[in-house]
Amino acid sequence: MHEHDDYPVPGRMERRAVDPRESVRAGRLWWDGAADAYQADHGDFLGDVDFVWCPEGLTEADIGLLGDLDALRERRVLEVGGGAGQCGRWLRARGVREVVSFDLSFRQLQHARRIDEDSGTRLPTVQADVQRLPFSDAAFDVVFSSFGAFPFVPSADDALAESARVLRPGGLLVFSVTHPVRWSFPDDPTEHGFTVHQSYFDRRAYVEEDDHGNAIYVEHHRTVGDWVRGIAGAGLVLRDLTEPEWPEGHDRVWGGWGPVRGRMIPGTAIFSAVKP
Ligand SMILES: C[S@@+](CC[C@H](N)C(=O)[O-])C[C@H]1O[C@@H](n2cnc3c(N)ncnc32)[C@H](O)[C@@H]1O
């Protein structure tokens, strides 16, 4: 699952139910332990001041899912699970005045400070869990996430409800996650990764454990229908589901994402929803 030797090493991997507290604890510890290796592996691809939605390399400059940049400059924007805040920093550099990024992992936020200094573009950040946000109701016009937080939380419903709560009426939520169909396939971007080996309907989490059976990395699976119901349940209206296609000439492999499978099946789903 992870490319670099410096990631926390699991004793074993399995699909199983995970207690919510065990899941959040694993999330914080794993990202604190893995942040240095993650930024070393993916920092160049993400760019210090760039907004990449997914391993397919689709950028916000390409697709404009958050809407027109001129209008966005006057909006209050929240980045969910922003890691080192590359996306939020890109918005700041393009003149969006109010952008805040939050992340569960303190080490990821330390990388945000490092990149602030290197790039000269400062991004305000907060340490927080998406399931309990420290922001008031209707505080933001736009809430977005590029693979941050949503794939890692035991309750997508809580995360979506919190995102909806901090949006003003008329506000926009856009977030990218692993495409649900990918969960049926092994985490292998080569020809060997074309065999369906587990049920799409199996909602048990992917768990890496230490030698004592404690979860050290957890990712949660939802079907497309689960995401749609979660969005509707949070009082939002689904506007679009973007499934980025693998671009010609893009050869970079990221875990299970790569050109061989990317040309055949989707790797990323980006949900766009509005608060009525
Ligand atoms: C794959 S990274 C995405 C971050 C950034 N957009 C990027 O592309 O590097 C996932 C991020 O989600 C954060 N995260 C995981 N669980 C979270 C939670 N419950 N609340 C907030 N952030 C969380 C992790 O700490 C990590 O920085």
Where are the chain's structural domains? 12-274
Instruction: Report the SS3 class of residue 190.
Output: coil
**Amino acid 258: pLDDT:** 97
Residue 5 has a pLDDT of: 63
pLDDT of residue 197: 84
Phi, psi (deg, nearest 5) at residue 225: -60, -40
pLDDT of residue 1: 47
Task: Mention the CATH class of domain 12-274.
Answer: alpha beta
What's the pLDDT score for residue 65?
Answer: 98
For a substitution probing ligand 1, which of 24, 45, 89, 103 has the most ligand atoms within 8 Å of its CB? Answer: 103
- Check residue 11 and give its pLDDT: 82
Distance 152 CA to ligand 1 centre (A): 8
Q: How far apart are CA 224 and CA 37, in angstroms?
A: 31
pLDDT averaged over 10-residue windows placed end to end, the chain, 276 residues: 68 90 93 97 98 98 97 97 98 97 98 98 97 97 98 95 98 98 94 93 95 94 97 98 98 96 97 98
Phi and psi at residue 100, to the nearest 5°:
-125, 140
- Ligand 1 in reach of 46 Cβ (< 6 A): yes
The verdict on pTM exceeding 0.85 is yes
**Which residue spans within the chain are E strands per DSSP?**
12-16, 76-79, 98-103, 125-127, 140-146, 167-178, 205-209, 215-219, 237-242, 268-274
Task: Give the nearest ligand 1 atom to 24 CA.
Answer: 19
Atom of ligand 1 nearest to the CA of 87: 6
| Residue of the CA atom closest to atom 3 of ligand 1 | 148
> Which residue, by CA, sits nearest to atom 2 of ligand 1?
148
pLDDT of residue 7: 83
